[in-house]
Amino acid sequence: MNSSRRNFIKNSALAATAIGATTVISSKVWSAGPAPSDKINVALIGCRNMGFGILSNHLNTGQVNCVALCDVDRNVLNEKAQAVKNNHGQEPALYGDYRKVLERKDVDAVIIGTPDHWHCLIMVEACSAGKDVYVEKPMANTIGECNIMVKAAKRYGRVVQVGQQQRSSKIFNDSMHVIKSGKIGTLRKVNIWVNFNYGLGTVPVPDSPVPDGVDYDFWLGPAPARPFNPARFHGSWRHYWDYGGGLMSDWGVHLVDMGLWAKDITTGPPKVITFADNFSKADMARDTFDTMNIIYPKDDFVIHYDLTAGIEQGPFDSSYGLQFIGEKGTLVADRNKYHLYPEWDGRKNAPKTEELHFDKGNETHRQHVDNFLECIKTRQTPVCPPEIGRAAALHVHIANIAARVGETTLEWDDANNRFTNSEKANELVVPEYRKPWKLPEI
C-alpha cells in the first residue's frame, strides 16, 4: 500500500480510537482492483501449517504483497519462501525474530500462525507497532492473555480478526439466521460433540537433540524451559498445557463459538460444570484430557460439550457437530451442511416447522480473510474481533482449568476476571512468562 494511503488508514484508526468510534471509509475507494502500490503489505509470523494456509488465502485475493516471512525454524522458513515464490512469484524477506518484522514501517498487517502460547505477545507488540492483525485461534492460551489482547486492539485502534473462520461460513451464517428468526422456536439446548483421533496426542518418544536450523529457545519463548522432545514440538505442541489446550481448545473454540453466537453472547461463562478424565494417558504423549463432558448453564438455555478424543464416530454420522434444539425443531450443523428436523404437532397432525436442508459447504478461510482485508480498508470491525475470540477462549480454558484443579463446578465473575469459588483456579488465570519475556501490560 502506498505511504499516503497507509498514513490515511493509520490516522483514521487513531482518530477512531480517540473519539471511541469506528471510522468508515467508503469501500468504493478500494473496489476497482488495487494498483501494485495500493496492495496491502502482509507479513506471516509462524509459517508451518495454518499460518501458511492463511497467507495463501491472502495472496490468492491478488490484493496483497507478502513482504516478510518469519519462523524460528529455518527449514520451515526456506520451504515456505520457495512455495511463495513458486505459487505467487513473490520473494519476501526472511526473519527468525518477529520483532525485526514489526520494526518494518511498510508492513500493514501481520498473520500470527505460531502455537498458542505466542499469540498474545506477538499480537500486542504488532498492535502497538501500528499493524493490523489476523491471529489464529484460540486467541491465546490463557484467560489473562485474552484480556490483554482485547485491550490492546482497542488501545491501538487496530483491526484484529481472530481465526474462528466459521463466523465467515455460509452454513453457519444461514444456521444463525434460521435459529434467530424463530424457525426452531425458543432455543433450549445446544449439544456440541467433537471426537477426533488426533486428540490423543502422539506416541511418546525420548528427548533428543534440537534439529538443525531450529531456534528452540525462541520457539519456547515465554513457556517454561524444557529439553527438546519431538512430541511437544511442531503440530503436537497443542496437547501440552505450556503451549495449548488439547482438543478441548483446538476445536472447542470453533464449536462453542457457534453456541454463543446463537444468543450473541460475548462474555465468559458465569458457571462451568466439568467432568474430565484420561483413559489413554499411559500410552500417548499428552497433558490434556481425552474425555470431557462440560455443561455451560446460561440464563435461558444450556450448552453441553461432549469430547471423546481417539474415536472418529459421532452423532448424525459426523465426528463433530452441533445440535441446536428448539421447541419446534432441531437444527444440526457441521462445516458442510445443516438440516432442520421439525418436531411433530400431534394436535394439528402437522410438523411444527418446515424441514430445511443445505449441504453445499464452502471454503471459509478465504471468506474470513476477505472480511479481514475489507476491514483493513474500511476500518470496520471484522466478524471475529477479540471480544468474540475471548468469549470462546474463556469457555474452553475454564473447562480445562476446572479439570486441572479438580473442581467440578467453577463460577466465573467476568467483570472482575476471577473465579469466585476456587483460589486454585485463580492461580491459572494469568500465566507466568519465562524471562526475559514479559507479559504485556496495557
Ligand X SMILES: NC(=O)c1ccc[n+]([C@@H]2O[C@H](COP(=O)([O-])OP(=O)(O)OC[C@H]3O[C@@H](n4cnc5c(N)ncnc54)[C@H](O)[C@@H]3O)[C@@H](O)[C@H]2O)c1
Q: Which residues bind ligand X (CB under 6 A)?
A: 45-51, 70-73, 76, 98, 113-116, 118, 136-137, 163, 165, 218-219, 221, 234-235, 237, 250
* Nearer Cβ to ligand X (252/326): 252
Grid coordinates of 379: 476500518
Q: Smallest distance, Å, CB 73 to ligand X?
A: 4
CA end-to-end span of the chain: 29
Task: Determine the Cα–Cα distance for residues 59 and 270; give it in Å rounded to an integer.
Answer: 41
* Nearer Cβ to ligand X (187/255): 255
* Nearer Cβ to ligand X (50/430): 50
Task: Determine the Cα–Cα distance for residues 343 and 244; give it in Å rounded to an integer.
Answer: 40
CB 147 within 8 A of CB 390: yes
* Nearer Cβ to ligand X (132/407): 132
Helices 252-261, 386-405: crossing angle, 10 deg rounding: 120
* Nearer Cβ to ligand X (140/340): 140
Contacts of 360 (CB under 8 A, 6+ apart): 170, 337
Q: What distance separates the 2 farthest-apart alpha carbons in the chain?
A: 73
Q: Smallest distance, Å, CB 368 to ligand X?
A: 8
* Nearer Cβ to ligand X (48/88): 48
Q: Smallest distance, Å, CB 441 to ligand X?
A: 20
CB 377 within 8 A of CB 367: no
Grid coordinates of 203: 506416541
DSSP string, 181-242: TTTT-SEEEEEEEE--GGGG-B------PPPTTB-HHHHHTTSPP----GGGSTTGGGGSTT
* Nearer Cβ to ligand X (80/88): 80
